Amino acid sequence: MNRLKKLTPDLFLLSILLCWMFVPEALSCFLKANSLAAISSRFTFKNNIPEVQFSPSSIVFGPDFSIGKHFNLTINLKQLDSTYNLTGFEFRIIFNSSLISVVSAYEGDIKNFSNKDHGTFFMCSLENESSLYLRNFLLPNTAGEWEAFPEGNLTLVIVEFKTLIQDSDTLYNGEFSLDRICLYDKQGEDIPFIPPQNATYTMLPYEQPERFIDLYMQYPIPYGGQGFNEPADVVAPAQLVTLHADAAFCEKPLSDILVTFRIYDNNESLYATLYNTTNENGHASVTFRMPWPDVNPERFIGIWCIVAFAEISGQVVNDTMRYNYEFLVSISNLTTDKDEYAHCENVEITVKYSTSLKREINAILEVVIHDELLVPIGYFEIVLKIGGTACCQQKNYNTVRLLVPYYAYSGLATISSAFLDISRIRISPEVTETIYILPL
């Protein structure tokens, strides 16, 4: 027996198992006293194996009109022991892309354990229409060490989705699952875990009342206000707006129904009343242009409201649609890295902008510098995809560098920036900032 104890731990355990196979009665007491101690000295056992979970486990929309609704799906890690030394994870979320689409993804709690100087490395990308790849790693300090490790109940990642489809007579069901889940310790080794149960998604058919009118504008579903009392997306200054209304009785379109469109401004005052009669498809439309006068046009900026009325079989029905009347994008700040520049020196310009757009559009960010004699000495433009917000303003930053050329006149120079649409029509107010160009 002393010889066995002098063997390496692996051979020691193997010897015990072989003896157990042939003389179990003689070694039962020995195993209880010695082998468990040897095993525990070689392997570390945790009190809990962490569990990966979806939250919520079930997502249901309907019977209200629910196309274009945003919702969050959270992936959590429960009962994590800090001795696991978790430093990162990666997995794929599998979903039905015909029912929903990904809007964005956000870091969870791991960033709270990051080194202040190095932070985390967070990555998300669509591998295909139905698979979202996610990973995040805690970066070590300059000595290659981690100052703290995550523990307890954690949120790994939050994914924002958007609903795509709903019918009056079809129930849609889908699932969320995680594929190729890996949790890593500081050595890059796998950490054991309990895999999650799939989360479910249900879209109930919408319930259309017996007498029905639906008011919306020219934007596609769900950005035009389609559905009962649904808001529409942002309307730009002086934009031409086409209002639509669909009238039906027991889901059958009604022709020759007079529809009244009442337009209320940002002060809740009646701005205009328009009329039209439904065609054979139960559809009526009117068109008007939003006001943008030469004097103080900003007084019209705010939330506007439109109400459509119609009498159907002796009963008046209505639908309400609200929308923000404002610039599609606004530059809130234009800054430079310093105030004075020599010739042939780069000017670093940071543009901070925001938008309330729910739909995504391509826009051109334009930056130009004029010297004191109004000579253009620098120009930059870039096409950006803006919008895609759920309910509030989305804030962004973009930094550009422009060279002060040798021929620039010394003195005060003006930097101006604005956003244009693809047809090069301005969709934001222009913002300016001044710098000083030093004499040669």
CB under 8 Å to 345, separation ≥6 — which residues? 403, 404
From CA 168, how far away is CA 146, in angstroms rounded?
A: 54
- Is domain 51-203 classified as CATH 2.60.40.680? yes
For residues 366 and 425, the answer to whether their CB atoms sit within 8 Å is: no
Query: Which regions in the chain score pLDDT beneath 50?
Result: 1-45, 391-392
For residue 67, the model assigns a pLDDT of 83
Which residues of the chain are in CATH 2.60.40.2550 domains?
Answer: 211-325, 330-437
E-strand ranges in 36-171 read 51-55, 58-61, 70-80, 86-94, 100-107, 120-128, 131-138, 152-163
Residues in the chain: 440
From CA 161, how far away is CA 27, in angstroms rounded?
A: 60
For residue 47, the model assigns a pLDDT of 58
Residue 273 phi, psi dihedral angles, 5° rounding: -130, 125
Residue 22 phi, psi dihedral angles, 5° rounding: -105, -30
For residues 308 and 215, the answer to whether their CB atoms sit within 8 Å is: yes
For residue 36, the model assigns a pLDDT of 38
For residue 31, the model assigns a pLDDT of 37
For residue 44, the model assigns a pLDDT of 44
Reading the block at residue 137, the tokens are 């790693």
Residue with tokens 């990308």: 125
For residue 12, the model assigns a pLDDT of 39
For residues 306 and 320, the answer to whether their CB atoms sit within 8 Å is: yes
Following DSSP, what letter does each residue of 327-386 receive, concatenated? Answer: -SSEEEEEEES-SEE-TT-EEEEEEEEEE--SS-EEEEEEEEEE-TT--EEEEEEEEEEE
- Is domain 211-325 classified as CATH 2.60.40.2550? yes
Which residues of the chain are in CATH 2.60.40.680 domains?
Answer: 51-203
Which fold is adopted by the domain 330-437? Immunoglobulin-like (2.60.40)
For residue 117, the model assigns a pLDDT of 65
